[in-house]
Structure 1
Amino acid sequence: MSFLGKKYTLDREENFDGFLKFIGLPEDQIQKHSQFKPTAVLTKEGNKYKSITVNTDGPKESVFESGVPFDEVVPGGFKVKTMYIVDGNTVTQTVENPNGIATFKREYSGNELKVTVTADKWDGTAYRYYKA
């Protein structure tokens, strides 16, 4: 798990604006997101992980145990049920809300992080590529 503690910065993305449109983000917010290069860090202490992401809305921190669902408030004030599963160099996050389930699959390799974004009611797929 050499990726733990490394800071990853967004390098490029594919169809992420399509995902943001699907979840109903206003066009001005989509433009704001497209101009920002978020960072992501994952750390571990004992059996708990901490995910820190800095994006257009500022820093967001989630503390979790692999496989244990928890309630979370996401930007916009929406309450969702979130669960992360850590499996080697892959961290899969599912986010469940009244409109469906979104999945964020994070695959760490070398100094890169690839995030694949899907949703059960969306026929698209988005990708975000980060570099350490």
Structure 2
Amino acid sequence: MTAYHLNTVAGSNRLITDKMAFLGKEYSCVKQENVEAFFKFIGVPEDKLAAYCDFAPSGKLVKDGDSYTFTSQYPSGPKVVTFQSGVEFEDSIGIEKVPIKSTYVVDGNTVTQTIKSTKGTTIFKREFSGDDMVLTMTNNDWDGVAKRYYKA
């Protein structure tokens, strides 16, 4: 359910949607750009590359007090990550469950995940706007940008 509030600006009334309206919505991937190059760079094995590129992930973020839970759906089943904004924690990523250090920062309609691993620092930036979400993937040692586009 989207929360609304009335905002008065210079004498005019405008209806503004809650900045956290994306919480609790399930987002599914509808298209992507340059993900194969990104996955190659971060070391996805050639024999698993097609599975990574062809898979259309989905995800949902919910908030409970000071904690958030991000649930992603993968062919191997759901992955559930509970975190506090700005607090680094031990995690794993990918089919091979590569160990990483991960930090999520929730700032308005943007959720940025910073991953530190043997492949450098990787940023997964999720930007929400209504029923759309754009995931931008970058790495400090890679000059490319990969994107996945999602719809709720």
TM interval, short-chain normalised? over 0.9
State the TM-score, normalizing by the size of structure 1. Answer: 0.95
Question: Contact 1:101–1:120 at 8 Å: present in 2 too?
Answer: yes
Task: For residue 56 of structure 1, report the CA deviation from its aligned partner.
Answer: 3.2
State the TM-score, normalizing by the size of structure 2. Answer: 0.83
- For 2:47, give the aligned amino acid: D
RMSD over aligned CA atoms reads: 1.0
1:118 is matched with which residue: 138, 141, 146? 138
The 1-side partners of 2:115 and 2:91 are apart by 9
Question: Contact 1:43–1:51 at 8 Å: present in 2 too?
Answer: yes
What are the superposed Cα offsets for residues 60-111 of structure 1, whole Å, 9 maximum, x if unpaired? 1110000000011223132111000000000000000123100000000010
Per the alignment, residue 124 of structure 2 pairs with 104
Matches for 1:84-95 after TM superposition, within 5 Å = 84-95=104-115
Question: Contact 1:4–1:44 at 8 Å: present in 2 too?
Answer: yes
Matches for 1:7-18 after TM superposition, within 5 Å = 7-18=26-37
Instruction: Name the count of aligned residue pairs.
Output: 132
- Segments of 5+ residues of structure 2 without an aligned counterpart are 1-19
- Segments of 5+ residues of structure 1 without an aligned counterpart are none
Question: Contact 1:11–1:129 at 8 Å: present in 2 too?
Answer: yes
Q: Which has the higher relative contact order, 1 or 2, with Cα contacts under 8 A spaced 6 or more apart?
A: 1
Q: 1:35 to 1:77 in 2, by over 3 A?
A: closer
- For 1:84, give the aligned amino acid: Y
Task: For residue 120 of structure 1, report the CA deviation from its aligned partner.
Answer: 0.5
The 2-side partners of 1:35 and 1:78 are apart by 20
- For 2:77, give the aligned amino acid: G
Question: Contact 1:115–1:129 at 8 Å: present in 2 too?
Answer: yes
Question: Contact 1:38–1:54 at 8 Å: present in 2 too?
Answer: yes
The 2-side partners of 1:77 and 1:38 are apart by 17
Question: Contact 1:19–1:126 at 8 Å: present in 2 too?
Answer: yes
- For 1:22, give the aligned amino acid: F
